[in-house]
Amino acid sequence: MVQKIALFNHKGGVSKTTTTFNLGWMLASKGKRVILVDTDPQCNLTGMVLGDETEDDEARLENIYNTTSNIKTGLAPAFESQPRAIEAIDCIPVQGRDGLFLLPGNVGFAEYEVTLGIAQELSGSIQALKNIPGSITDLFEKTATKFNADYILIDMSPSLGSINQNLLMTSDFFLVPTTADFFSVMAIDSLAKVLPRWYAWAKTASSLPILKDAAYPFPNVTLRFLGIIVQNYRIIRGKETAAFQTWIQKVEEAVSNKLVPILRHNNMMLPAIVYTEQGINGSLTLTKISNFNSLIALSQEHRTPVYDLTPEQLRQTGIVLERNQKKQDEFRKTFSDLADKIIALTSTSNYAVSA
Ligand SMILES: Nc1ncnc2c1ncn2[C@@H]1O[C@H](COP(=O)(O)OP(=O)(O)O)[C@@H](O)[C@H]1O
Ligand SMILES: [Mg+2]
């Protein structure tokens, strides 16, 4: 059965998209079948995977937009009351990595925000809207079945709108990528306020007969928090700089003192033993990822994770190449360890606790 993992933080620029790509690729290289879903109307993930620089790239993107092979057109049967059922998306194989696929985004996906908002508020009383709240998860499940996927990684937009509310509450797990600064602490604080409200809504929605009996039933709530990924902190001589260390600590305190207790109270945590068995601390920091520096631009240019760029792609020799290869080894280990933790945390025996 597929596991849906949402990468969520309503703060932008915290490496949601970059992590989705690097982590998804790593999970696939460990033999898992993974679908990356671009739900952000900015379509950064789609651009990153398919490229959007040349005319050929653009023609390919235009083609995808005009077919049923993207998030918006896939959902149109429910959102636009079309007389056809939702069908699995024809995901695009990601070049260079067997077992990794992209469910492309669509700039127009944001147009569904208002409709979904209305459906989510009123669907208990309005027949015509009953098929909308369960439609996104239906599309994902059908697509996962078609591709025999083990994981769906959902790259989300930086918003607290109804689409994100739906995406998160119908996922099995979520990760919170975060940077380490003042605004990141504020974002964790506000998640601690928003998530209980969303959870309460989802519990109600999943118990409404009208939504259960819909063409696309609203699922039971099974969401569990996997942890945070602290991103892009600066390193000097192998150590974080003092300012970053302070903010990392503050982010971790906000997670362990505010977010985790509230998530536990709302049944969105795995049993504590499952985290400790993986060596995960109280702030649920799964990993800290330092600045990719020059590797990030090359990674985007070659649509390849930072750790899998070849020496030819690095276009370097001698000591510079050696230094970057050493960094690549570190990033490979970071993402490999992260993928192992995620595989362990999401294994069936752990999440099969009652909702
Ligand atoms: N570890 C990192 N080191 C350096 N740059 C990074 C790192 N992670 C992300 N970035 C860069 O930071 C910017 C924001 O990352 P992105 O993944 O788009 O964030 P989000 O999806 O949360 O908005 C991008 O330009 C990306 O290339
Ligand atoms: Mg993004």
168 assigned to some structural domain:
yes
By residue range, what is the domain housing residue 163? 3-288
Does residue 51 register a pLDDT over 50? yes
52 assigned to some structural domain:
yes
Q: Within a 10 A sphere around the Cβ of 340, how many other Cβ atoms?
A: 14
Q: Compute, in angstroms, the gap from residue 353 CA to the centroid of ligand 2.
A: 31
Considering only CA atoms, which of 27, 146, 151, 47 is closest in space to residue 106? 47
Task: Name the average pLDDT for the chain.
Answer: 93
Ligand 1 atom closest to the CA of 297, numbered from 1: 27
pLDDT for position 241: 74
Distance, CA of 118 to CA of 172 (rounded, Å) = 24
Ligand 1 atom closest to the CA of 19, numbered from 1: 17
pLDDT tens digit string along 117-154?
999 988 667 777 899 999 999 999 999 999 999 999 99
pLDDT tens digit string along 325-342?
999 999 999 999 999 999
Nearest CA to ligand 1 atom 11: 15
How many domains, in total, are found in the chain? 1
Ligand 1 atom closest to the CA of 9, numbered from 1: 22
Q: Collect all residues with Cβ–Cβ distance below 8 Å to 352 and sequence separation of at least 6.
A: none
Q: Compute, in angstroms, the gap from residue 83 CA to the centroid of ligand 2.
A: 33
Environment class of 62 (CB within 10 Å of its CB; exposed 0-12, middle 13-18, buried 19+): exposed
pLDDT for position 202: 96
Rg value, the chain, Cα: 20
Q: Compute, in angstroms, the gap from residue 42 CA to the centroid of ligand 2.
A: 7
Ligand 1 atom closest to the CA of 300, numbered from 1: 27
212 assigned to some structural domain:
yes
Q: Compute, in angstroms, the gap from residue 75 CA to the centroid of ligand 2.
A: 21
pLDDT for position 355: 41
Distance of CA 340 to the CA centre of its chain: 17
52 falls in which pLDDT band (50, 70, 90)?
A: confident
300 assigned to some structural domain:
no
Residue scoring higher pLDDT (122 or 219): 219
N residues, the chain: 355
14 assigned to some structural domain:
yes
Ligand 1: lining residues by beta carbon, under 6 Å: 12-18, 44, 231-232, 289, 291-292, 296
301 assigned to some structural domain:
no
Instruction: Assign residue 232 the CATH number of its domain.
Output: 3.40.50.300
Distance, CA of 10 to CA of 190 (rounded, Å) = 9
10 assigned to some structural domain:
yes
